Amino acid sequence: MANLAQAIRMALHYGETHLGVTDVFGQDVGAPLGGVFTCSQGLKTAWNAPLDERGIIGTALGIAYAGGKPVAEIQFCDYIYNCIDLLKLCGNAHWSSAGEYHVPIVVMTPVGAGIHGSMYHSHSFESIASHIQGWTIVMPSNAKDAYGLMLSAIADPNPVLFMAPKGLMRAKGDELIPGEPADEKTLHQMIDAPVGDRSQWQPDWPALQDYRVPFSQARIVRPGNGLTVVSYGRQLVQCAAVALELAADGIDAEVLDLRTLYPWDEASVFASVRKTGKLLVVNEDTEVTNFGEHVMRRVTDACFYDLVAPPQLLAGLDVPGVGLAWGYEKHSVPQPEHIAQAMRTLAAARP
Amino acid sequence: MQPNLALQNHRDDTVLTPTFVPGPNDTRWTPPALDAALQVRIHDLMVKARATEEMLIRMMRTGHGYFWIGGPGEEAYGTALGMLVHKGHGPAYDYLHLHYRSSAVVLAMGSEPIDLLRQMRSTVTDPYSKGRNFVNHFAIKPWNIVPVTPTIETQYLMAPGTALMQRRHGGFGCSIVTGGDAGSAEGDFYSAMNWSTRPGGELPVLMLIAQNNYGISTAASTVQNTPNLHQRADGFRIRNARVDGNDPIASWHALVDAMDYVRNERKPFVLQVNCSRLNGHSSSSGAARHDEPDCVQLYEKRLLDDGLATQTELKLVWDKWNALLSDALKTVVAEPMPDREHVLQHVWYRGPAGN
Ligand SMILES: Cc1ncc(C[n+]2csc(CCOP(=O)(O)OP(=O)(O)O)c2C)c(N)n1
């Protein structure tokens, strides 16, 4: 099965051949590297931008204004902070121009911890991103969703922020992407650039098909009745694994993968909470003014009389960074043991 | 469904600037000649812009708007620029990344003053922002005028993007970006120069710096070590020049030279236009008239001296625009203001793809 980076690459290839993508660009996005996570290897529209994040977003906006369809990459979300005013301009151009212009751009950026990335390769960005209006924000937790969300992002005429969990880039899917060869060695030979000299290399793309994951549709990863766990990205994978483990102890968690963080699938989350009466949101952004707090507030408003325990948030510790030594990351970014503890506590809660 | 009030953009698409309109077989852009009729026309358009700005300031003073910021003092180079724009939609035509003192540019291109009055009063009929943005924040898609941003200098970052599409498209279209002197201290200005000069990927961007010696209250001489900011382009090996932006004829020729290079060589150019800031920064500093050279008065004297116009003819021009503006104000004050039903309009675009 394709890993998440290969899935993104195949989606971008589908995008440039079928959905009008004109430019895939960013730092080290073009040849020879094809992206620090290999997400853009072999793409015909990929090119290397100057090391200038503001220039990347501004240029993407210009390309979009002139009728192009750019996918711009910020190499790590840790370096997107100096672009916030530009992201705001992308998100408000349609509204501020009274509908005269719109901004069909995709910005993709790797997010989160889990790769011993230290202070500046471990940031989460969704809480800040959720304050930048006019953007659709997505984060896949598996390769097939990455493919389907990227195609939806490309096809959408509004700005879409595609956040790829760094820690899952090499994670293989468990479902084939439509058109993907069944044998992963074959896929590797077809689309992964060789190590060493690549100057003559050309990818041999499989006959990929259109497959979209619609925005604002959560996925029930594991059905259950005891408590609702809402997560996304790398933490979703951890939550699903923990839920499976705890099932043996009679803890029956329903795990939802939000997939689109904004506008998010309130209906599915509310329906689940109305059934279980309990909500745990898990993510790894720092906990103060965390996106999960927004989910909790909406759930509290909509499902107050269905709740049998206070909604819970398990998030990153409110410290200035994720330190390099494992002791820092282990104790500041949710780990399976923290998730298990939070699920057990909530499962045991009685009114 | 929210009722979607179809905004009408009051502009004259037929006012074709006197520029050369390239035919399919033309391999070079040829600058237009500046004859006597055109010099008189420049005056007409400069007065159109000045009279409009004066009306906007009056509106601010009489409670017909919250805030004024605009372009008195930038009419000379602005009019010349607006007349030289290759006007239309799509990458074959010029893209304009303007700042908030560009009323003369859009009025010279054929915009109707009434739309500026609408934005000043923030009526729901304001075609540029539906009453959402300050006056002089244009967005005119049929003319490639992308939304004017309230953030200083970010427009410089977008110009390489539109220019990239123009480079691919071919032809003579260029991306024109304007901004102030203080704003040129932002890294975005340097980014634009760098993105426009990638080896083998040079871009047709015409960058203008309007040097009026101030950023709000801060004197330029106290924060940048030269008044000749165009020379910053030397470091990027970008051609650059400076012109008296209070002189429409000198500005015309400087713009023609710069455009000749940008359009034909498909490379960037930085042009500094030295001009006045006649009514200060904005209404926040009172918008009172300052004692600085007035480009309209200077040009009128010149037209008289050169025998291209008489006092009576000049007065008629003012009367024409002032009468039109008073009528426009009567219309605008009777127009509806945005309300609850407008707040959620245009958050998401749901139409067909493509800009
Ligand atoms: C990024 C940003 N910083 C600050 C401001 C506030 N501001 C508005 S105009 C201005 C001064 C700009 O001066 P200059 O670039 O010289 O242009 P001028 O107003 O003189 O035409 C400032 C600081 C802003 N709008 N955007």
Q: Is A18 in the same domain as A56?
A: yes
Q: Which residues contact B96 (CB under 8 A, 6 or more apart)?
A: B85, B102, B105, B143, B144, B145, B146, B175, B176, B177
DSSP H stretches of helix in chain A: 4-18, 53-65, 84-96, 126-129, 143-155, 184-191, 233-247, 266-276, 291-303, 326-332, 336-348
Active site residue A121: yes
B329 belongs to a structural domain: yes
Check whether B10 has a pLDDT greater than 60. Answer: yes
B132–A52 CB contact, under 8 Å: no
Total count of domains within chain A: 2
Question: Rounded to the nearest 5 degrees, what angle is found at the Cα of B21, between the Cα atoms of B18 and B22?
Answer: 155
Q: Among all residues of chain A, which has the CA nearest to that of B128?
A: A97
Chain A residues with CB-CB distance to B198 below 8 A? 50
- Beta-carbon neighbour count of residue B288 at 10 Å? 9
Range of A114's domain?
4-191
Report ipTM (2 d.p.). 0.96
Site residues for ligand 1, CB cut-off 6 Å: B 101, 150-152, 179-183, 210, 212, 214-216, 277, 281
Residue B353 near chain A (CB below 8 Å): yes
Residue carrying structure tokens 């050369």:
B20
Contact predicate A197/A129, CB 8 Å: no
Check whether A348 has a pLDDT greater than 70. Answer: yes
Residue A89 near chain B (CB below 8 Å): yes
Cα(B80)–Cα(B76) distance, integer angstroms: 6
Q: Is A53 in the same domain as A162?
A: yes
Cα(B183)–Cα(A118) distance, integer angstroms: 35
Nearest to B129 among A62, A70, A98 (CB): A98
What three-state secondary structure class fits A316?
strand
- Window B:93-152, CB contacts with A under 8 Å: 95, 97, 126-130, 132-133, 137, 139-141, 144, 146-147, 149, 151
Mean of the pLDDT values across residues B300-304? 98
Cα(A140)–Cα(A150) distance, integer angstroms: 9
Closest residue to atom 8 of ligand 1, CA basis:
B152
DSSP bridge pairs for A113: none
Q: Is A115 in the same domain as A21?
A: yes
Q: Is A186 in the same domain as A273?
A: no
Residue A263 near chain B (CB below 8 Å): no
Q: Report which ligand 1 atom has the smallest distance to the Cα of B282.
A: 19
CB-facing half-sphere around the CA of A202: CA atoms within 13 A: 2
A58–B194 CB contact, under 8 Å: no
Mean of the pLDDT values across residues A125-148? 98
**What is the CATH classification number for the domain harbouring A31?**
3.40.50.970
Q: Is A70 in the same domain as A183?
A: yes
Percent of chain A exceeding pLDDT 70 equals 100
Mean of the pLDDT values across residues A300-328? 98
Catalytic residue among A13, A116, A121, A188: A121
Check whether B2 has a pLDDT greater than 70. Answer: no
Shortest distance between the Cα of B114 and any Cα of chain A, in A, equals 17
Chain B residues with CB-CB distance to A23 below 8 A? 164
Q: Is A14 in the same domain as A154?
A: yes
Cα(A284)–Cα(A318) distance, integer angstroms: 10
Check whether A149 has a pLDDT greater than 70. Answer: yes
Q: What are the pLDDT digits (tens) for A174-221?
A: 999 999 999 999 999 999 999 999 999 999 999 999 999 999 999 999
Total count of domains within chain B: 1
Nearest Cα neighbor of A218 from A272, A298, A274, A163 is A272
Shortest distance between the Cα of A238 and any Cα of chain B, in A, equals 34
A205 belongs to a structural domain: no
Residue A51 near chain B (CB below 8 Å): no
Residue carrying structure tokens 């103060």:
A288
Cα(B323)–Cα(B329) distance, integer angstroms: 10
Range of B164's domain?
32-279+288-335
Q: Is A183 in the same domain as A228?
A: no
**What is the CATH classification number for the domain harbouring B75?**
3.40.50.970
Q: What are the pLDDT digits (tens) for B218-259?
A: 999 999 999 999 999 999 999 999 999 999 999 999 999 999
Residue A98 near chain B (CB below 8 Å): yes
Cα(B96)–Cα(B87) distance, integer angstroms: 10
A83 belongs to a structural domain: yes
SS (H, E, C) B198-219: CCCCCCCEEEEEEECCEECCEE
Closest residue to atom 3 of ligand 1, CA basis:
B152
B109 belongs to a structural domain: yes
* Confidence (pLDDT) at B18: 59
* Confidence (pLDDT) at B275: 98
User: What are the two backbone dihedrals, phi and then psi, of residue B140, each rounded to the nearest 5 degrees?
Assistant: -135, 95
B27 belongs to a structural domain: no
Q: Is A186 in the same domain as A104?
A: yes
Q: Is A167 in the same domain as A65?
A: yes
A60 belongs to a structural domain: yes
- Rg of chain B in Å (alpha carbons): 20
Chain B residues with CB-CB distance to A262 below 8 A? none
**What is the CATH classification number for the domain harbouring A223?**
3.40.50.920
Shortest distance between the Cα of B145 and any Cα of chain A, in A, equals 10
Sign of the torsion formed by the C-alpha atoms of A117, A118, A119 and A120: negative
B81 belongs to a structural domain: yes
Q: Is A23 in the same domain as A153?
A: yes
User: What are the two backbone dihedrals, phi and then psi, of residue A71, each rounded to the nearest 5 degrees?
Assistant: -115, 110
B14 belongs to a structural domain: no
Q: What are the pLDDT digits (tens) for B79-95?
A: 999 999 999 999 999 99
B147–A96 CB contact, under 8 Å: yes
Q: Is A154 in the same domain as A226?
A: no
Sign of the torsion formed by the C-alpha atoms of B132, B136, B137 and B140: positive
Check whether B16 has a pLDDT greater than 70. Answer: no
Q: Among all residues of chain B, which has the CA nearest to that of A263?
A: B348
Q: Is A135 in the same domain as A240?
A: no
Q: What are the pLDDT digits (tens) for A23-47?
A: 999 999 999 999 999 999 999 999 9
Q: Could you write out the DSSP letters of every residue in A72-119?
A: EE-SSGGG-GGGHHHHHHHHHHHHHTTTS-----EEEEEE--SS---T
CB-facing half-sphere around the CA of B219: CA atoms within 13 A: 2
Check whether B294 has a pLDDT greater than 50. Answer: yes
